[in-house]
Amino acid sequence: MTAPAPDDKWKLKPHPSIPKPDKPLLVVVLDGWGEGTHNDDFNAIHKADTPCMDSLKEGAPQRWRLLKAHGTAVGLPTDDDMGNSEVGHNALGAGQVVDQGARLCDKALESHRLWDLDGWKYLAPAAQAGTLHLIGLLSDGGVHSRYDQLLLLLTGAAERGAERLRVHCLTDGRDVEDGTSVQYMQRLQKDLATLREAAGVDAAIASGGGRMRVTMDRYESDWKIVERGWDAHVLGEAPSRFTDPVEAVEKLREPKALGGKPASDQWLEPFVIVGKDDKPVGPIEDGDAVVIFNFRADRVLELSRAFEYEKFDKFERKRHPKVRFAGLMQYDGEEKLPKHFLVPPPDIERTTGEYLARGCCVPTYACSESQKIGHVSFFWNGNRGQPFNSLETWHEVPSDKNIPFNEKPEMKSREIADLGKEALRSGKFDGGQVRLNFPNPDMVGHTGDLEATIVACTAVDKCVKELLDEVEAVGGRWLVTADHGNAEDMVQRDKKTGTPLREADGRPRPLTAHTLNPVPVVIGGPGLPDSVRFREDLPNAGLANVGPTILNLLGYEAPPHMVPTLLA
């Protein structure tokens, strides 16, 4: 295939002191690998066997540093907001700090501007004449959704003529403490009762289930997850039927065996709520309005396709109601999915990938397994679903299905590493980049299983060592970093003392969420001039500063709209 000609609009100036390499640049993202403040038994990275990452930290003080990976540094509303893989990879690839989904939605709701935009205007006739259904993650985690935004949507819709409201709740236990599903359901029940009394509307919870079991699949890893959600939310069909949603999560969390652990909120089976007549209180019917209230894209794209597409073959939709459907945001700008949305998405233009592909004719190989391939491609490129041109190669390693991550914590790290080594020595990406994401610290960390996460981090460290050895052999350059913290703290702590919190029986209370910790970034390789080192005047540098640094390592100056490079 003939390589595309460079587009003058996207050309970059040569770097004045770092020559363009004739071998590849390896970029590795260790997903969920933070730098913890507690080097104790609950820091899986500290407890893991990580000689490679340890040696990088100890051996290259001028080429190793920490970066902010949460809050305003990655475009989130406040510095109390955890970073996540979506915003992290947006920042890494864009080289810019861009207002992200949560912040954009906050602004649109607080100003009431949302109700004047085209999305609500499209929904309003159906929301006022039929039922308005809201589907999403019932959580304050701030990664996929936020409770306060759901409540503002319910209240605002009721104020604007929606008289029948139904909420379809996915329980979390991943971005918030496991077991809090009961409290969230109680809170929503109370707020819906207040709304019924204050606004005179018919508002109720209609269905639900755990996020990893129901509805919120991603990257088409397992369409059965979405099918379970479709059956519960749309058809009102599920194995478990309850009259009270609080009772539903309490019963579904009960241990299956005497003395066993409660079921995780993440994995609760689907359920529907029925009335006194034993009929579902909120199936989705022709003429209704449906909103997904998650602002993050990856785990609601598949449900969006099921609602939006007339031609659909991923599972049997026993009924496909004619509804007005919208997302809180547009979840895929390339696919234009969904067509209607309440808040316009972040405008991420002029990313590093676009300059390299269009203006510099630099080849890129991006690889991960299904759980994170979209992050190292779609999110890295500014939420674009396709490569910029033929110079970009995206390679997905299929993730295991129906195997909890803590049961196979190595996941597909071996396959990713082998593919990365093959790409490095192939010659196809000389002068370009080989970009890899290892999901293990994040995906296994989310299970709360400390021992499995230690195994995951050990496996990833070994893969990084092999990759760096390959870079050494071919004479290339490398950059290793992460997108947010997770595995470095696996226990809930007293906020003042940092002491691990424990249950009444003495068991530690696992932390399954991301953290507010910084992440490391380190550079090296035989192809990198000895004079290159990190600058010392950017104490608050964040993930966005990695983008222009990558351009420098490939021999180019970064464009002026990007944040400063990390290199002196």
Please answer whether residues 69 and 83 qualify as being in contact, where contact means their C-beta atoms are separated by less than 8 angstroms: yes
Helices (H), 446-545: 450-474
Closest listed residue to residue 80, CA positions, set 90, 89, 88, 70: 70
Predicted confidence at residue 430, as pLDDT, reads 98
Residues of the chain with CATH 3.40.720.10: 34-99+348-492+506-553
Q: Indicate the pLDDT class of residue 276, thresholds 50, 70 and 90.
A: very high
| 49 annotated as ligand-binding | no
- DSSP secondary structure, 12-80, as one string: -PBPSSSPPPSSPEEEEEETT----S--STT-HHHHS--HHHHHHHHH-TTSEEEEB-SGGGGT-SSTT
Residues of the chain with CATH 3.40.1450.10: 102-343
pLDDT tens per residue, range 298-314: 899 999 999 999 999 99
Predicted confidence at residue 219, as pLDDT, reads 72
Average pLDDT of the residues in 494-509: 91
| 85 annotated as ligand-binding | yes
Predicted confidence at residue 333, as pLDDT, reads 65
Average pLDDT of the residues in 227-249: 98
Q: What distance in Å separates the CA atoms of residue 175 and residue 142, rounded to the nearest whole number?
A: 8
Q: Indicate the pLDDT class of residue 402, thresholds 50, 70 and 90.
A: confident
> Is residue 368 flagged as an active site residue?
no
| 442 annotated as ligand-binding | yes
pLDDT above 90 (res 259): no
Rounded percentage of the chain residues whose pLDDT exceeds 90: 89
Other Cβ atoms less than 10 A from the Cβ of 132: the count is 28
For 461-499, give one letter per residue: b (16+ CB within 10 A) or e.
bbbbbebbebbeebebbbbbbbbbbbbbbbbbbeeeeee
pLDDT above 70 (res 404): yes
Quote the DSSP letter at residue 5.
Answer: P
Predicted confidence at residue 503, as pLDDT, reads 87
| 168 annotated as ligand-binding | no
| 233 annotated as ligand-binding | no
| 89 annotated as ligand-binding | no
Predicted confidence at residue 495, as pLDDT, reads 84
SS3 label, residue 244: coil
Average model confidence (pLDDT) across the chain: 95
pLDDT above 70 (res 121): yes
Other Cβ atoms less than 10 A from the Cβ of 218: the count is 22
pLDDT above 90 (res 69): yes
pLDDT above 80 (res 381): yes
| 370 annotated as ligand-binding | no
Closest listed residue to residue 181, CA positions, set 255, 259, 250, 283: 250
Predicted confidence at residue 334, as pLDDT, reads 57
| 395 annotated as ligand-binding | no
pLDDT tens per residue, range 409-457: 999 999 999 999 999 999 999 999 999 999 999 999 999 999 999 999 9
pLDDT above 80 (res 3): no
Q: Of the listed 17, 55, 85, 426, which one is catalytic?
A: 85
Any idea what the Cα angle at residue 449 is, between residues 168 and 215, rounded to 5°?
Answer: 20
Predicted confidence at residue 220, as pLDDT, reads 85
Average pLDDT of the residues in 160-189: 97
Q: Indicate the pLDDT class of residue 180, thresholds 50, 70 and 90.
A: very high
- Structural domain 34-99+348-492+506-553, CATH architecture: 3-Layer(aba) Sandwich (3.40)
pLDDT above 90 (res 1): no
Quote the DSSP letter at residue 330.
Answer: -
Predicted confidence at residue 332, as pLDDT, reads 75
pLDDT tens per residue, range 348-373: 999 999 999 999 999 999 999 999 99
Please answer whether residues 83 and 74 qualify as being in contact, where contact means their C-beta atoms are separated by less than 8 angstroms: yes
Domain 102-343 part of CATH 3.30.565.10? no
| 146 annotated as ligand-binding | no
| 31 annotated as ligand-binding | yes
Q: What kind and span of H or E run contains 392?
A: strand 392-397
Average pLDDT of the residues in 129-146: 96
Residue with tokens 């997903």: 31
Predicted confidence at residue 346, as pLDDT, reads 75
Q: In what order do the strands lie in the sheet with 364-369?
A: 64-67, 519-524, 477-482, 25-30, 433-438, 364-369, 392-397
> Strands (DSSP E) along 493-551, which ranges?
519-524
pTM here is 0.75
| 175 annotated as ligand-binding | yes
